[in-house]
C-alpha cells in the first residue's frame, strides 16, 4: 500500500480550524490511546507559528474519467480495455504529462457532491483540463491546493 500525502483525507473544516486551537486538544488520542501519525505530523506542521496555510490555488478544473482514475488512484489499467497496447501507452503518456503539468497539489473537489451534482458533469465535450481530450463523456471537478 502506497504512502498517502500528509493531510490527505483531513476534512476542510479541520484544516481551517487548526490555527488558534490548543495542539493538545487538536491531536488528543482516540479511546484506544493513539493518534494517526500522518495526521499528527500534518497538524503539527500546519499549527506552527508563521506557517503559511493551505489554500486553493486554482479550482474549477475538469478532468475526464481516464484522468480521474490516474489522478486519484494512479490507475491506468482501464486504458487497456479501451485501447490497443500502443494506443494505451500513448494515452498513458498524455495523462501523465497533464498530471505533471498540474502538479502535486491536485485534489478531487467534492465540496458540492453531497448537496448537488455540481462536482460532476455527466455528458460533455468540454476539454479535459489534464489531457485535453474532447471526447464525449463525464468530467469531474478538481482543484489545486498549495501554500498561500
Using the predicted structure, report yes or no on whether residue 47 has a pLDDT greater than 80: no
As a whole number, the mean pLDDT across the chain is 75
Using alpha carbons, select from 105, 119, 103 the residue that is nearest to residue 55: 105
78 and 127 share one domain: yes
Q: How far apart are CA 124 and CA 18, in angstroms?
A: 39
Could you tell me the pTM of the whole model?
0.61
69 and 123 share one domain: yes
27 and 83 share one domain: no
Interhelix angle 85-102/65-73, rounded to 10 degrees, is 70
Cell numbers standing for residue 28: 488528543
Cell numbers standing for residue 78: 482501464
Using alpha carbons, select from 109, 110, 103 the residue that is nearest to residue 147: 103
129 and 69 share one domain: yes
Residue 29: the pLDDT is 46
Using alpha carbons, select from 70, 122, 121 the residue that is nearest to residue 98: 70
81 and 134 share one domain: yes
Cell numbers standing for residue 148: 498561500
Domain that holds residue 35: 12-47
- Give mean pLDDT, residues 34-62: 66
- Give mean pLDDT, residues 104-110: 85
Using the predicted structure, report yes or no on whether residue 61 has a pLDDT greater than 90: yes
**For residues 42 and 118, is the Cβ–Cβ distance under 8 A?**
no
If you search the block for the grid coordinates 458540492, which residue do you land on? 112
75 and 27 share one domain: no
H/E segment holding residue 144: strand 137-147
* Residue 108 within any structural domain of the chain: yes
28 and 83 share one domain: no
Q: Which residues pair with 108 in a beta bridge?
A: 142
Number of Cβ within a 10 Å radius of residue 147: 10
Using the predicted structure, report yes or no on whether residue 141 has a pLDDT greater than 60: yes
**Lowest-pLDDT range, 55-64, 77-86, 119-128?**
119-128
Residue 108: the pLDDT is 87
* Residue 36 within any structural domain of the chain: yes
94 and 41 share one domain: no
43 and 58 share one domain: no
Using the predicted structure, report yes or no on whether residue 64 has a pLDDT greater than 80: yes
Q: How far apart are CA 64 and CA 43, in angstroms?
A: 33
Residue 83: the pLDDT is 95
Domain count, the chain: 2
Amino acid at each position: 500500500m502506497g504512502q498517502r500525502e500528509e493531510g490527505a483525507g483531513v476534512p476542510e473544516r479541520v484544516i481551517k480550524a487548526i490555527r488558534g486551537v490548543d495542539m493538545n486538544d487538536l491531536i488528543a488520542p482516540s479511546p484506544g490511546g493513539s493518534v494517526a501519525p500522518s495526521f499528527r505530523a500534518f497538524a503539527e506542521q500546519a499549527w506552527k507559528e508563521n506557517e503559511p496555510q493551505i489554500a486553493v490555488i486554482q479550482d474549477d478544473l475538469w478532468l475526464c474519467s481516464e484522468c480521474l482514475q490516474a489522478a486519484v488512484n494512479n490507475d491506468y489499467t482501464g486504458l487497456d480495455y479501451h485501447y490497443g497496447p500502443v494506443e494505451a501507452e500513448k494515452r498513458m503518456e498524455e495523462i501523465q504529462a497533464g498530471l505533471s503539468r498540474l502538479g502535486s497539489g491536485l485534489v478531487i473537489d467534492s465540496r458540492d457532491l453531497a448537496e448537488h451534482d455540481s462536482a460532476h458533469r455527466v455528458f460533455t465535450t468540454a476539454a479535459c483540463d489534464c489531457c485535453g481530450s474532447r471526447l464525449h463523456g463525464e468530467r469531474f471537478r478538481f482543484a489545486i491546493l498549495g501554500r498561500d
